Amino acid sequence: MKVATMAAEAQQLTVPTEAELLQGQADLWRHSLYYMTSMAFQCAVKLGVPTTIHSLGGAASLPDLVTALSLPPAKLPYLRRIMRLLATSGVFAADNAADVVTYYRLTPLSWLLLDGVAVDGHPSQTSIVLAATSRHCLEAAMGLSDWFQKDVVASPFEDLHGVTLFDESMAKHDPEVDAVFNEALASHDNSGFLTVLRECGALFQGLESLTDCCGGDGTTARAIVEAFPQIKCTVLDLPRVIDNVPAHGVVNYLAGDMFKSVPPAQAVLIKLVLHHWSDEDCMKILAQCKKAIPSREEGGKVIVIDIVVDSSSGPTHEAELLMDVAMMVMTNGRQRDETDWSEIFTKAGFSDYKLVKKLGARGVFEVYP
């Protein structure tokens, strides 16, 4: 009887039209070949195409690029195909002069790929591209179906390579890739913080002390002190990070483990850290942050800056979901919507929070003890 019912329901399904099936086939090609866009993107970054276009005054023809990049002239038609794809996907813009010569220009995306150039507080993001498209990450993603069939807790990355993404042992496993990953982490964490200071500066007004948890080389802490000189900033990070930071006297550095202790301060900043960790680990980290600050009446708070998945399918929604799957593949973390964040704050022992502002995919939270 059940089989007959299912058969009857199947007969009621609406069969796609021929036009819809043809579009479906095109979509199938697109999804199956998305990695070609990623590889073309990586190729352009490794060749230095964005920086070259910038150095040529912001517009470059294919012959200009071939000459400036010292490529064999025979590669021009192949470069045309790569640039055509990347222009279609928004990495570059293309225009025609008298319908003869195509000139390629930078878009907001490729402005972020200029070597050694920070654009309005956004450091070069080339290392993020190289890390995300590295063999280590691609191989981990390629093993997803096998990973799903294993009863393992480790991420696909750790399960495959035997090391975690930012673990100290990664440096021994592959020093060159470890350097790229850490550079990518630093540029990712520091990107856009000047916008936070401009848009959410009230968060830091009146503070006397602040601990930047996992603050890396102190770029963010130095920006805070420059904007608010009265704040005494301490940067907490692992010994292998702190030991490599040159002394400059602007902020204090402390080597430690955020799971064990966070240096006391009126406020703790934890920026683009928690999405690398499971909910349970986030609660442990936040519990240490809560111990480090005074009561809410005394101005105590934790400032959390992290990705907030927007369920309204806004302009950054697909990027947020891609980042979520990336966290699943490469770490034990995930991207969270506001409800997820609220639950974690509550379970970590905080009394209340406020989502101060959403800046692109990132949310700026003020969390109260």
Q: What CATH number has the domain bearing residue 243?
A: 3.40.50.150
Taking residues 312-326, what's their average pLDDT? 87
Chosen domain end from 60, 79, 111: 111
* Tally of CB atoms within 10 A around 48: 18
**Which parts of the chain are beta strand (E)?**
59-61, 92-97, 101-106, 209-213, 232-237, 252-255, 267-271, 301-307, 352-359, 362-368
| 295 shares a domain with 353 | yes
Please report which helix (H) or strand (E) contains residue 22, including its range: helix 18-32
| 291 shares a domain with 209 | yes
Query: Is the model more confident about 158 or about 249?
Result: 158
**pLDDT > 80? residue 173:** no
| 226 shares a domain with 307 | yes
Query: Is the model more confident about 181 or about 256?
Result: 256
pTM (2 d.p.): 0.86
**pLDDT > 80? residue 9:** no
pLDDT, one tens digit per residue, over 16-33 is 999 999 999 999 999 999
Residue 205's pLDDT band (cuts 50, 70, 90):
very high
Domain that holds residue 98: 33-111
Taking residues 224-247, what's their average pLDDT? 89
| 237 shares a domain with 218 | yes
Q: How far apart are CA 233 and CA 253, in angstroms?
A: 9
Q: Is residue 201 domain-resident?
A: yes
Taking residues 180-194, what's their average pLDDT? 82
Residue 4's pLDDT band (cuts 50, 70, 90):
low
**pLDDT > 60? residue 88:** yes
Tell me whether residue 122 is one of the annotated catalytic residues. no
Q: How many domains does the chain have?
A: 3
CA distances from 299 to 15, 17, 37, 289, 293 (A): 62, 62, 48, 14, 9
Chosen domain end from 152, 186, 220: 186
Q: Is residue 1 domain-resident?
A: no
Q: Residue 81's pLDDT is what? A: 96
Residue with tokens 């942050």: 289
Which of 54, 161, 275, 276 is an active site residue? Answer: 275
Phi and psi at 324, nearest 5°, equal -65, -45
Q: Is residue 118 domain-resident?
A: no
Q: Which residues of 238-260 are buried (b: 16+ CB within 10 A; e: fewer)?
A: beebbeebeeeeebebeeeebee
Q: Residue 141's pLDDT is what? A: 96
| 310 shares a domain with 214 | yes
Mean model confidence pLDDT for the chain: 90
| 226 shares a domain with 180 | no
| 217 shares a domain with 157 | no
Tokens (6 digits) for 329: 């593949």
Residues in CB range of 331: below 8 A, 6 or more apart: 155, 157, 164, 165, 276, 277
Q: Is residue 9 domain-resident?
A: no
